[in-house]
Structure 1
Amino acid sequence: MAGRESDVILSRLLSLHPKVIDLGLDRTYEMLECLGNPQDKLPPVVHLAGTNGKGSTQAMLRAVLEVAGYKVHAYTSPHLVKFHERIRLAGELISEDALQDLLTYCEEANENKPITFFEITTAAAFKAFADTPGDIVLLETGLGGRLDSTNVVDNPAVTILTPISMDHTQFLGDTISAIAGEKAAIQKPSAISVVGPQPDAAMEKIEDVARDKAVQMSRFGAEWSITDTGEGLRFVSSAATLDLPYSNLPGEHQVTNAGQAVAAILALRDQGFDISDDQIREGLVNVEWPARLQRLKSGPILDELGSNFDVWLDGGHNAAAGITLAKQAETWKAEDDRPLHIVFGMLNTKAAGDFLRPLAPYITKAHAIRIPGEENSLTAEEASAFAKEQGIDCLAKETVEAAISDLPKGNEARLLICGSLYFAGIILADNS
């Protein structure tokens, strides 16, 4: 990352952070006003919120739309290796020169006033989307929904609510219903609301918000369903019955994400987007989304471990992600009897025990590390203590390299590197 001028500008923007974190949209609207209100000059918008699956669902949507010939803008966070990943313009990551110019413009327009990093960079993304010709914007929330800086688009075409679980409780509330109420606020009367599978309390709150706003809903288990047939996926709704291939993203949870994407595509079809069934199939087969059960194929970790290890990377970090990974571990166990090792690092803002608990029965040995360069990381000793509380045999190691060196090299095994998207990004920077 050293040597990029955009990183220097981003560091300056971080220093503008208000002394007190107060969620709200006032600073975002003020910044957007300085930029000419680009949020009002966008092509049709698909707005995504939820706890798990936003990124994968967005990636599937983008893959299908691009196969169909559309120029897709996309916004996501956090990034894995470089900030440019957050802003995709007409199918391509924003270039370094364009990002430098964009950030400099926004920094000067802000005139050194207090603003959070996410607020000013989200405003920058809106300006980039408004200034670059495109057919559609895929817009992912950062935190929550009601007071998220992305929630300034008055008339989106589609909203998507992916599965909701406990996360960011210090900001969004300490119950599923409260968190769902915050995320459900992205629903708008102009937009069909695609809703993935939810806990009962979350679905009730989402339906209450939709009813109050007179929002048309497209819910998993009601207006649409998707199942694994053993040979592929079957999507069923009143508009279509589609037999689909498995997506290119592994894991049982990606079945649901595919369903959310297809339901959104059908909603866009109703609004004039020309997308064929075959283009949906091709998009699912071709989709890529790093650090979501991604199998590593090269790099120093594989060089160290050799061909005996299958190495997987996942950025999941909450209880729901732990359950998802446990289901995958169960699948691996059914395939063969290879031991499963994990190397993990986690932020101290996440419930490490809740993440590790579902995985515990499948883990042969764990190694805990502190996420390099991340001040909010659990120490290796703290992370290891959480693992031991779940009955996991775990060692604390100072570095990733030390953890990898300690793994047994003789027999076939699997390694899962997990616990944080920040950690996943560090791994991906050297292991693609």
Structure 2
Amino acid sequence: MTYQETLDFLYSQLPMFQRDGKSAFKKDLSNTIALCNFLGNPEKKFKSIHVAGTNGKGSSSHMLSAILQAAGYKVGLYTSPHLKSFTERVRINGQEISETDVVAFTEKVKPAIEEIHPSFFELTVAMAFDHFAEQEVDIAVIEVGLGGRLDSTNIINPEACLITNIGLDHMDMLGNTLRMISKEKAGIIKEGTPVIISQKQIETTPVFTEVALEKKAPLFFAEHHLSWKGNALLKNNENYISDLEIGVKGNYQKHNVLGVLMLIDQLYKKGAFSISKEAIKKGLKDVVALSGLKGRWQLLQQNPLVITDVGHNEDGWRFVLEQLQEQEFDKLYMVLGVVQEKDLPSMISKLPKDAYYFFCKPNVPRGLSAEVLTEEAQKLGLKGECIPDINTAINVAKQRATAKDLVFIGGSTFVVAEINEL
């Protein structure tokens, strides 16, 4: 098969969350275990870090990868979903898996696909593990896809686990309270393995404390040990690292950095990895170039400012709106699209009423109709118009905007994925 034929096969033959929603989510790990057994258990052949959370897990995973790369290690990185190319999901030192390797892997596992009938996500996890094992990475950063306890990535035995901010998202699958959702995320905590919590939250703290005690896992709330003083970081209230520059923008990233550096501290204390302060500074500053991170408060254009962010749930939107309030502009234009399962009234009620909106639809089956989004938004007082195609909406917004205005594009990862300039 050619690469395109391989992708067509993967997309058309396998259940896929982006296309099919929760019906593609298998509530046990049996398929992933069977696939990895077929491959000779590659997940046992490299060291790993496991990263879960509602918001911030992608950024944190890229930061971890960048810091470890800056320290001189060969680092695998598995993230999802991809924005532009399928190969973004599997990287080593920022380099995406080759199309040739994707084809070769798919051909190799075809007998297992026919027998096991895995989901798209289960197969991509197995592909990542197989690639990292074959390439003999020093360590791999593995981002959870959905939840934690039943996520396909949860067959690894990591050096340490990181859990970022917990918010209300995918409630139809993970539960409708922060406590229920955090219980699913806490499913990645392993026996005796350090677990770091990036952001302490009243509702989730008891859950993480209870599970860590059960598993005899050392538990660290990052903010108990690390804190910011301007652009400097304090450790136990003493100077730790000065003049830190975070290459991915957004004030909310400061929460993520605390968790990332607490995990790096645990790796260092284990004695298996030597990570200098210089490597930490370089990794954080050059995170985009080193890891290939996209879509996190990403500046696409000046005059007018055009910014995009993948934030797509209640907490994600709160972070985005806080950041927008700090920007200087005359008028705000927002290109907005969402997927069907979102709580529209809750989301829309938080959006700025003085902005002008272009309502569109992500080009995935789960994308909410632009007409429905327009109707619901206008009922709740937002002003704007319906332009279903995302890039058409962006072009119209840029034409309307003056040099001193701001155009924001978001609402869904799948909106960001379609931006031509990304």
Q: Do the two structures share a fold, i.e. TM-score over 0.5? A: yes
Q: How many residues align?
A: 410
Q: Would you say the 8 A contact 2:15–2:24 is kept in 1?
A: no
- Alignment match of 2:159 (pick from 135, 157, 160): 157
Q: Which residue of 2 aligns with 1:424?
A: 416
Report SS of the residue matched to 2:352.
helix
Q: Which residue of 2 aligns with 1:302?
A: none
**Residues 1:385 and 2:375 aligned together:** yes
The runs of 5 or more residues in structure 2 that have no matched partner are: none
Deviations 1:239-283 (A, max 9, x none): 972224130111110111111111111111112211111111111
Provide the rounded CA distance (Å) in 2 between the counterparts of 1:328 and 1:217: 31
Q: Would you say the 8 A contact 1:194–1:218 is kept in 2?
A: yes
Q: Matches of residues 39-50 of structure 1 in structure 2 within 5 Å?
A: 39-42=43-46, 44-50=47-53
Give 1:365 deviation, angstroms.
0.5
- Alignment match of 1:114 (pick from 114, 117, 123): 117
Give 1:212 deviation, angstroms.
1.0
**Residues 1:204 and 2:198 aligned together:** no
Report SS of the residue matched to 2:306.
strand
Q: Which residue of 1 aligns with 2:277?
A: 277
Range with bigger deviation, 135-144 or 30-39: 30-39
Cα RMSD (Å): 2.2
Q: Name the aligned partner's letter for residue 227 of structure 2.
A: I
Q: Matches of residues 12-411 of structure 1 in structure 2 within 5 Å?
A: 12-14=12-14, 21-42=25-46, 44-153=47-156, 155-222=157-224, 224-229=225-230, 232-237=231-236, 241-272=240-271, 273-288=273-288, 289-297=293-301, 308-332=303-327, 336-361=328-353, 363-372=354-363, 374-407=364-397, 408-410=400-402
Give 1:191 deviation, angstroms.
1.9
Range with bigger deviation, 203-212 or 400-409: 400-409
Q: Would you say the 8 A contact 1:9–1:100 is kept in 2?
A: no
Q: Would you say the 8 A contact 2:390–2:415 is kept in 1?
A: no
Q: Name the aligned partner's letter for residue 281 of structure 2.
A: R
Give 1:129 deviation, angstroms.
1.4
Q: Name the aligned partner's letter for residue 259 of structure 2.
A: Q
Range with bigger deviation, 378-387 or 105-114: 105-114
Q: Name the aligned partner's letter for residue 60 of structure 1.
A: M
Provide the rounded CA distance (Å) in 2 between the counterparts of 1:201 and 1:102: 42
For the structure 1 residues 115 and 405, does the alpha-carbon distance in structure 2 shift closer, same or farther, using more than 3 Å as the test?
A: closer
Q: Name the aligned partner's letter for residue 133 of structure 2.
A: A
For the structure 1 residues 358 and 226, does the alpha-carbon distance in structure 2 shift closer, same or farther, using more than 3 Å as the test?
A: farther
Give 1:236 deviation, angstroms.
1.9
Q: Would you say the 8 A contact 2:87–2:98 is kept in 1?
A: yes
Give 1:90 deviation, angstroms.
4.6
For the structure 1 residues 164 and 389, does the alpha-carbon distance in structure 2 shift closer, same or farther, using more than 3 Å as the test?
A: farther
Q: Name the aligned partner's letter for residue 341 of structure 1.
A: Y
Provide the rounded CA distance (Å) in 2 between the counterparts of 1:388 and 1:345: 14
Provide the rounded CA distance (Å) in 1 between the counterparts of 2:102 and 2:61: 22
Range with bigger deviation, 74-83 or 238-247: 238-247
Identity %: 30
For the structure 1 residues 388 and 364, does the alpha-carbon distance in structure 2 shift closer, same or farther, using more than 3 Å as the test?
A: same
Deviations 1:46-77 (A, max 9, x none): 10000000111111111111111100001000
Q: Would you say the 8 A contact 1:345–1:380 is kept in 2?
A: yes
Q: Would you say the 8 A contact 1:193–1:217 is kept in 2?
A: yes
Range with bigger deviation, 48-57 or 128-137: 128-137
For the structure 1 residues 340 and 30, does the alpha-carbon distance in structure 2 shift closer, same or farther, using more than 3 Å as the test?
A: same
Give 1:109 deviation, angstroms.
2.5
Q: Would you say the 8 A contact 1:72–1:89 is kept in 2?
A: yes
The runs of 5 or more residues in structure 1 that have no matched partner are: 298-306
Provide the rounded CA distance (Å) in 2 between the counterparts of 1:108 and 1:89: 27
Q: Would you say the 8 A contact 2:62–2:77 is kept in 1?
A: no
Deviations 1:49-108 (A, max 9, x none): 000001111111111111111000010000001110001135421011011111221223
Provide the rounded CA distance (Å) in 1 between the counterparts of 2:44 and 2:238: 31
For the structure 1 residues 337 and 184, does the alpha-carbon distance in structure 2 shift closer, same or farther, using more than 3 Å as the test?
A: same
Deviations 1:363-385 (A, max 9, x none): 5201101113x111111112223
Deviations 1:383-415 (A, max 9, x none): 223433443212111323442354324452000
Q: Would you say the 8 A contact 2:391–2:418 is kept in 1?
A: no
Q: Which residue of 2 aligns with 1:303?
A: none
For the structure 1 residues 239 and 118, does the alpha-carbon distance in structure 2 shift closer, same or farther, using more than 3 Å as the test?
A: farther
Report SS of the residue matched to 2:350.
helix
For the structure 1 residues 19 and 148, does the alpha-carbon distance in structure 2 shift closer, same or farther, using more than 3 Å as the test?
A: closer
Range with bigger deviation, 274-283 or 183-192: 183-192
Range with bigger deviation, 16-25 or 210-219: 16-25
Provide the rounded CA distance (Å) in 1 between the counterparts of 2:402 and 2:161: 50
Provide the rounded CA distance (Å) in 1 between the counterparts of 2:24 and 2:138: 38
